[in-house]
Structure 1
Amino acid sequence: MSSPFGSAPSSALVAVDRAVSELRRGLSVAVSDPGGNVLHLTAAEYATAERLAGFVAAAGASAAPRLLLTNRRAATLKLRPLVGDPVALPLDAHLDAATIASLADPTADLDNPLRGPFAVLRRAPMAAEFAAVKLLKLARLLPAALVATAADTQGLLCVDADAITAYDDQAARALRIVSDARVPLADAEVARIIAFRPPDGGIEHLAIVIGEPTRREPVLARLHSECFTGDLLGSLRCDCGEQLRGAIRTIAAAGGGVLLYLAQEGRGIGLVNKLKAYRLQDQGFDTVEANERLGFDPDERVFRPAAEMLRLLGFDAVRLLTNNPEKVSGLVASGINVVERVPHAFPANNHNEFYLATKKAKSGHLL
């Protein structure tokens, strides 16, 4: 069967995308690495007594079932030693299903301050364990994994660890334009929306091309990560909605340019996890601390998709509307010439003042 993309997607990309779907359904997959390690993997946040019993039974007596937590999450739980990332906790009497779920999800940490002691394996993590946590991040699930050595993978979708770790880059390289339509906007009547999708059917990104920007000189561009609460609902917890609409107005007033609308909600952790981060912020943690308590890095976004989208649109040099130096360095590292950083800031309100101050102090935003 021919592919609408002109060539069939790589089997590695498809396997990773299928594994993401399995994990989001609460099912298990197998992850193998070049060292010969094969792991039975499922998401820890879905742990129930019934599921845990089934997982341990399926793993078998010699499978050494364990809970994997990122170093970020382990540090908030004061687990030692932090030999590598992720940290592995062998399942024992202390780790029943309720405890596993609570260790994965920090939103109830303050209600359960005294937990443990928990044993930690004193060894460097396997490549398959690192990939297992990365796969959960790709699935926009909490990065806490239940794994066991798999002697039998019958009935499990198998995916290679190297394919998981390379997925972001490979999916970005494979992006193709799949749809293009004229969409007049309130602040930019001459506008087109162009959709990009990797051939494995993975996550889609959009470009809003305003006016008729020339390819002969650097284009005025904005990289905007989607924000359901700010962009659509007008949330006052962030400045995303103002940045989106302000960028469209600025680009239109300049005579044209491009806004890339990237499917990287919550700095790449997904909407559900962003809402968990909001709960942590309501408990007194700042935006960086909240992401780290969830087990994520402060910013999980990648900017290779943006670079590939610009190239497909015919742009290799930009004047970038941003206050985030990491967007500049991310594009430059991906081969796009950023000739100018154009400031793009908006006044704080009573709800996002602390959020913006944290971005300036901890994330280096130029506000």
Structure 2
Amino acid sequence: MMPLCSLEEALEDLTSGKFVIVVDDEGRENEGDLFLLAEKATPEAVAFMVTHARGLVCVPLQGSRLDELHIPSLRSRNSPSSQPTAFTTSVDYKWETTTGVSAYDRSATILALTHPNSAPGDFIHPGHMFPLRADPGGVLSRPGHTEAIIDLAELAGVFPGGVVCEIMNADGSMARMPDLELFAAKHDLKIFSIAQLIAHRRITETLITRVAEANLPTKYGVARIIGYRGSIDEGEHAALVVGEWKNGDEVMVRVHSECLTGDAFGSLKCDCGEQLDMAMRMIFENGSGALVYLRQEGRGIGLHNKIKAFVRSTGAGPGHYRSQCCAGVPA
């Protein structure tokens, strides 16, 4: 199996105008795309994508850029994915092009989409190039190829835009990892993964901000409550801190996912409220510790989906329905 290249190697190849193959998760599309920075989109590069990758050539861009050029999004219908590809209306560059489909014309359109002097009137709708609207949170919000090329462009310090094309086999099937390794070896390309990019961003970026804090009297004593806001999803989270400690101390910590029905309403469908109460009591009895309260109802499935799950369940107690509010969602 061919080893994946490092982030530094991927950025070096991209900034030098080379393609990089980027793969996503096996549980998602499980596909590999050819990546190219938008500013490196020569006619020869476009021709290579069309000839060898064989997929749809698209141009991921930030939403702000698409809004500047008045390129509207297309509404997704009947998609099996919860995060479908965010297509916009297709475009062609209006000047110095012919039908818009040649490698030269497509290159001109890509470069115009990223040029600071381009205006909405410079593009014909519909056309032969397909801009994609990237999620503003990047791969941390949507782990797709669209977001990955934007994140990579920003890490490279260039205009946040790229060109992506799915890699297909000669028989028309989608290329999976064994096929992608052969493709990479044949064309002397490196393979990088979206998972690597996600890991890099999680390690190097500040993803949560301390917003407010105050003393909070509780039935067990006074704690320090600290409010945090997520930089990606704008989620509001909290921590209850009791006592003090120093580096090297063992600290009692409870991480609790929000459960409105159990925490506030005393639901017998789960034991979340009991766990929360027990954790607070233990922390206060210990004299120090922290309770981290994550505002992700049912570990992210949401209140409405949890209520729907109640309808499908039978029995009342947590022995039968233990943590069903979090069913199907990993900790």
Same fold by TM-score, threshold 0.5 exceeded?
A: no
Name the TM-score class by shorter chain: 0.3 to 0.5
